[in-house]
Chains A and B, each alone.
Chain A
Amino acid sequence: EVQLVESGGGLVQPGRSLKLSCAASGFTFSNYYMAWVRQAPKKGLEWVATISTSGSRTYYPDTVKGRFTISRDNAKSTLYLQMNSLKSEDTATYYCVRPPFGVQGFFDFWGQGVMVTVSS
């Protein structure tokens, strides 16, 4: 059974940093691209980042490019999201997701999500 378990969320002040983790199990992690999607409170969904199987290629929307960094440790089957220079508009639930067909694709498995609140 595929499982994605996020951790590392919490309350952080504007301008500070936070690092999220996602522990994956139930599939061969190193064979899949991975991604993060977020959802602001009572809002829609926004793709945040995608990483290739080896970690050599990363993709971001303009809203987080230069501030967020996605990475992975295939030996530990773990995905990360380093978030710097956080803004109030980054407040959201962050989901770890699996895109089964690479960078351009849907997401077939989702973690339960982790809440990030950016506030002073």
Chain B
Amino acid sequence: DIHMTQSPSLLSASVGDRVTLNCKASQNFDENLAWYQQKLGEAPKLLIYKANNLQTGIPTRFSGSGSATDFTLIISSLQPEDVATYFCQQYYSGNTFGAGTKLELK
């Protein structure tokens, strides 16, 4: 199984900050990676698929990059409504998720 490691587990940032969330895979794969946002008490929402493709309706301040084993989700200018936990998912071999990064306001 491919294991996904997200870092940091907790991130505090201020409104307007550029925020970088990381996801590292235990083995090399192409770009079969997605990012999800989960707000408290809600279901996850798809943000990014195939590493860098923005899902319809998602604000353009969200972007994804990376390949092989290292992937990144960037929020270019943090907004209060972005407070959430973010999960990465590989779908190259089976489906496995990272443990998540909890993003809070400083």
Q: Is B96's CB under 8 angstroms from A47's CB?
A: yes
Residue B89 CB within 8 A of the other chain: yes
Name the contact of B49 in the complex, choosing from A37, A45, A106, A112 (C-beta under 8 A). A106
| A61-B94, A104-B92, A106-B91 given; A44·B99 CB < 8 A | yes
Q: Is B32's CB under 8 angstroms from A104's CB?
A: yes
B93's nearest neighbour on chain A, judged by CB, is A104
Residue A105 CB within 8 A of the other chain: yes
Name the contact of A45 in the complex, choosing from B32, B46, B89, B92 (C-beta under 8 A). B89
B49's nearest neighbour on chain A, judged by CB, is A106
Q: Is A44's CB under 8 angstroms from B100's CB?
A: yes
Name the contact of B97 in the complex, choosing from A46, A108, A112, A113 (C-beta under 8 A). A46
Residue B44 CB within 8 A of the other chain: yes
- 0/1 per residue, B54-74, Cβ < 8 Å to A? 010000000000000000000
Q: Is B43's CB under 8 angstroms from A111's CB?
A: yes
Alpha-carbon gap, A61 to B97, bound state (A): 13
Number of B residues near A (Cβ < 8 Å) is 22
Residue B34 CB within 8 A of the other chain: yes
Name the contact of A110 in the complex, choosing from B32, B43, B49 (C-beta under 8 A). B43
Q: How large is the interface on A (under 10, 10 to 19, 20 to 34, 35 or more residues)?
A: 10 to 19
Chain B hits for A44, CB < 8 A: 87, 97-100
Residue A68 CB within 8 A of the other chain: no
Residue of A45, A95, A113 most packed against chain B (CB within 10 A): A45
Alpha-carbon gap, A118 to B36, bound state (A): 27
Residue B45 CB within 8 A of the other chain: yes
Alpha-carbon gap, A14 to B95, bound state (A): 27
Contacting B at CB under 8 A, from A73-120, are 95, 104-113
Contacting A at CB under 8 A, from B73-95, are 87, 89, 91-95
The 3 closest A-B pairs by CB, nearest first: A106-B34, A47-B95, A110-B43
- Beyond A106-B89, A110-B46, A112-B43: 10 further Cβ-contacts under 8 Å? A45-B87, A47-B95, A47-B97, A61-B94, A104-B92, A104-B93, A105-B91, A108-B55, A109-B46, A110-B44
